[in-house]
Structure 1
Amino acid sequence: MPFKLFDYQQRLVDETRQKLAEGNHGVLIVSPPGSGKSVIIAEIARLTVAKGGQVMFFVHRQELVNQITQSFQKQDVDLMHCTIMTVGKVANRLDHLPKPNLIICDESQHSRAKTYLKIFKYYSDVPRLGFSGSPWRMNGAGFDDIYSAMVKGPTVKWLIEHKKLSPYKYYSVTLFNDEKLKKSSTGDYTNQSVSDSAKPTLYGDIVKTWMDKAFGQRTIVYAHDTQHSKQIAAEFRKAGISAKHCDSKTPSDERKRIMSDFRKGKITVLCNFGLVDEGYDVKECTCCVIARPTESLVFDIQATMRCMRYLPNKMATIIDHAANYTRFGLPDTPRQWSLEGRPKKKRSNNTTSTPIKTCPHCWAVIPAQCHVCPQCGKEIQVETEQMDVDATKQLEKVGEFKLTTDYTTVKLGKMKPENAQNMSELYQIAKARGYKPGWAYMQGKRLGLLNKK
């Protein structure tokens, strides 16, 4: 019995088919990680095969091929009319594979790679669909020569609010010195510079922070190279935590066993390099530890959201040891995706960021306007910094307002919580200071005023 798609998933299927019907040769479907793209892909494949068509699906990793095969089977897709392979295998068998009526490519942020373009060129007369949670290339290249139309799914914020993704807590305890980071020809940081920038206490601090913020949670750790990943796993084991390392060069049988044990909960912490940042789906994973700085928006989105697959009452924990949030924002930061490329000289990560900062008490990443941490409830002292001044700028008048002073508000703003007689006064103090009501509640709880109106 096929899955019944959620309304937003059915909308994506319908809009994609409409774009093809309008004559678009290539359509890129963009929807956040964890929004169920595999179900959408399987439904489109089922509809195509049901009409007598042949479907070709490819992606860059065998684990993802296995996952989509299972999705096709659950959706009652006739696999006799499907070619499901890694992109490399398809590229090497073009002369021997049945010609498809529809090509479907997952993780399509990679579709500018030579092997993908080779397939597209060979089947130049076949309509193609691309799926991606982050259609972005570090070199700024676009996708408008591969896909002529884009269909967009819901935002991360919408998916969290409608219980399709789990909410999250985001902590940042920086363990790297950004001044020592150097970029490679790919645009991301070199492994050597990442190693050089790591603080001496890196490994112990990663485990210590995890023990404090996410002890016992099923966790994926993202390292910057294989040796780094192995050392982190060893440090977790020293602390008595079941941990394993895995990467693309781990023997196939061993890799399958490690992945299976992690899904079953036999392994608590899975440390990896370049393996489970895309497509890997384990709903029981509730924590991700980012132990590498990056300039890749794709990696940042894919890695941080790996623990946000929805389960009832689940709260995901993201620990960012490289302050990548200062480069890319948070998982639910709005993104502006486009098929067109970005100017090379202009750094853009497709975000429209809300200002954020780190709580100095619990290291939670929170909105910059917060005077009280919504995670730990502690007051955050406002710091004043010397402003940079551009002497060449001229003052431009864009409007006018009149200032009136409310001396009652000034008095309340200076009033200490301890001088409040009841909760009403605490809420007035909070309002005068620009604090949220949660601050007044926490102060009232601390002072024993919750039942005093």
Structure 2
Amino acid sequence: MIVSPPGSGKSVIIAEIARLATNKGNRILFFVHRKELVKQIKDSFKQNDVDLNRCIISTVGKIANHLKEIPKPQLIIIDEAHHTRAGQYMKIINYFSNVPRLGFTATPWRMSGKGFTDIYDVMVEGMQVQELIDNKKLAPYLYISRKLGDYKKLQSYSNQDYTSKSMAKFIKTINFGDMLKTYHQHAEGLKTIVYTPSIKAAKLVAGKFIADGIQAVEVDSKTPTKVRTQIMNKFRTGEIQVLVNVDLVSEGFNVPDCQCVIMLRPTKSLVLYLQQAMRCMRYQDGKKAVIIDHVGNFEQKEVIGSSKSKTKAPFGFPRDYRVWTLEDRKKATRKSEDDLKIAICKNCFAVFPASYSECPNCGTKIGKTKKNAKALNLEDKTEMDIVDNSEKPILFTTNYVILVNPNEAKSMEELYQYAKAKGYKPGWAYYKGKALGLIR
């Protein structure tokens, strides 16, 4: 299993592996769960000179229903491989049980906590999200949290996502006027994808945008294939500004110049959250993505196993460091060292570390009250001051306390090196409420 964040270039890696394999005369069997992604990978194969005559590229459903007609491949490649435990996937894998396979995913995670050790022998991980942002492979982002619905309406069973019935009740409580105000405030004119919990909700939301004079179109699984293709193409070319959908354009959907996502679909699935939140983070020079979370998905507690299981780690944010595994999941994926106390600006609803003296997005002054600082991580954690004699306190996030006077530090870089040498945990450094950078 090969793991790399959404938008990090898995399709290009797949195409290169397929090119090398077919150049040696091998046959490739590639499958994914949606037909839109089939066309996308075919285009990627063509662009990378893969011999398509030696490839079978289709949806998992079609392949599972025609196994006896398919010649034995020398390599199986599975995209969005976190779905591999599903019945049709396992039917194909069991049929070609002695064929080597590569599974690609951004999120090797299932709500049940069940792992993948019986399907994949080894996991290979790519860079973390923050590393990709730092290296200009993913776009930086502004995270907006303005919760608009009544969460008491939401219900779920055991280790499953919220029920369709409860989400239908929830969407009726959304203040769409505030949704539009937030859009105009942060995403005016930006190419935007909106995620909703149902077709009825998607049509309702699209209608709200249209009534506000915004060129929006609703698309869902029941939209005729030809019409759906036309809508997707118009969105890619910019003829459609806002695309409202139901879990249709999340996994694998590639629109590099999408600049904003709006989440109106609450979820208990970390996979769905990351796939949707990061859909606007494809890198383009000068681009800053905007993630508008109207349903508080970043605060959702990660479920491990049954509903009785207790975990303190919320989903957090796209940039957060995550620990993935093929084993059955016993812990939350998000590392506690990466957690911060956060504040939400009352003016623009931007989310940022609570130690800031003002909102980094709109400049609103932030009062130093306990009400304003919200602990995103519930585990035991403290903060440490490293102080020198020049009254320049540097705040690090760590899980133990120590106070030192590094008088020998003559520059910020030397201070960083000092902190690293002392063994301080990775975290953000601050000076007078301003973020100086990530200390690794």
The counterpart of 1:92, out of the listed 50, 61, 65, is: 65
Structure 1 counterpart of 2:360: 374
Q: Does 1:31 align with 2:4?
A: yes
Query: Superposition pairs for residues 39-438 of structure 1, below 5 Å?
Result: 39-184=12-157, 187-198=160-171, 200-327=173-300, 328-343=315-330, 348-352=332-336, 353-355=338-340, 356-384=342-370, 435-436=432-433
User: Bigger shift: 321-330 or 176-185?
Assistant: 176-185
Question: Given the superposition, is the C-alpha separation of residues 233 and 194 from structure 1 closer, same or farther in structure 2, using an over 3 Å criterion?
Answer: same
One-letter code aligned to 1:78: D
In 2, are the aligned partners of 1:277 and 1:306 still within 8 Å (CA)?
A: yes
CA RMSD of aligned residues (A): 2.7
1:231-252 alpha-carbon deviations (Å, 9 max, x no partner)? 1100000011100000111110
- The answer on whether the counterparts of 1:374 and 1:438 sit within 8 Å (CA) in structure 2 is no
* Maintained 8 Å contact 1:107/1:132: yes
Given residue 65 of structure 1, which amino acid in structure 2 is its aligned partner? Answer: V
Q: How far apart, CA to CA, are the structure 2 residues paired with 1:437 and 1:51? A: 55
Question: What is the CA-CA distance between 1:437 and the residue it aligns to?
Answer: 5.0
Q: What CA distance in whole angstroms lies between the structure 2 residues aligned with 1:84 and 1:32?
A: 23
Which structure has greater helix proportion?
1
Q: Per the alignment, in what secondary structure is the counterpart of residue 230 of structure 2?
A: helix
TM-score of the superposed pair, with normalisation by structure 1 = 0.78
The residue matched to 2:290 in structure 1 has which SS?
A: strand
Deviation track 1:425-449 (CA, whole Å, cap 9, x = no partner) reads: xxxxxxxx9623589xxxxxxxxxx
Q: Distance in 1 between matches of 2:246 and 2:64?
A: 26
* Stretch of structure 1 that moved more, 325-334 or 186-195: 186-195
Structure 1 partner of 2:410: none
SS in 2 for 1:289: strand
Q: CA deviation at 1:368?
A: 3.0
1:51 Cα deviation after fit: 1.1
Q: Given that residues 229 and 273 in structure 1 are in contact (C-alpha distance below 8 angstroms), is that contact kept between their aligned partners in structure 2?
A: yes
Structure 1 residues 52 and 370, CA gap change in structure 2 (3 angstroms):
same
Alignment-mate amino acid for residue 211 of structure 2: K
C-alpha distance 213-93 of structure 1, shift in aligned 2 (>3 A): same
Higher Rg: 1
Deviation digits for residues 279-319 of structure 1 (CA, Å, limit 9, x no counterpart): 00001110000012110100111001100111111111110
For residues 207 and 152 of structure 2, what CA distance do their matches in structure 1 show? 28
- How many pairs does the alignment contain? 374
Tell me by how many angstroms 1:378 deviates. Answer: 2.0
Q: Is the 8 A contact 2:148 2:175 kept in 1?
A: yes
Counterpart-to-counterpart distance in 1, 2:179 and 2:209: 9
Equivalent residue letter for 1:110: H
Indicate conservation of the 8 Å contact 1:136/1:297, yes or no.
Answer: yes
Q: More deviation in 191-200 or 333-342?
A: 191-200
Distance in structure 1 (CA, Å) of the matches to 2:57 and 2:193: 27
The alpha carbon displacement at 1:198 in A equals 4.2
Q: C-alpha distance in 1, partners of 2:159/2:224?
A: 27
Q: Answer yes or no: is the 8 Å Cα contact 1:222–1:289 preserved in 2.
A: yes
Partners of 1:147 and 1:223 lie apart in 2 by 33
Query: More displaced, 187-196 or 145-154?
Result: 187-196
Structure 1: gaps (5+ residues): 1-27, 386-400, 410-432, 440-453
| CA 142–438 in structure 1, closer or farther in 2 if over 3 Å, else same | closer
Change (3 A) 1:94 1:249: same
Distance 2:368 2:295 in 1: 24
Counterpart contact for 2:256–2:283, Cα < 8 Å: yes
Letter in 1 for 2:432: Y
Counterpart CA distance in 1 for 2:265 and 2:224 is: 24
* Equivalent residue, structure 1, for 2:403: none
Alpha-carbon distance in structure 2 between the residues aligned to 1:250 and 1:337: 35
More strand by share: 2
SS at match of 1:262: helix
**2:401 aligned residue:** none
Amino acid at match of 1:382: K
Partner Cα distance (1:286, 1:434) in 2: 31
Q: Secondary structure at the residue paired with 2:69?
A: coil
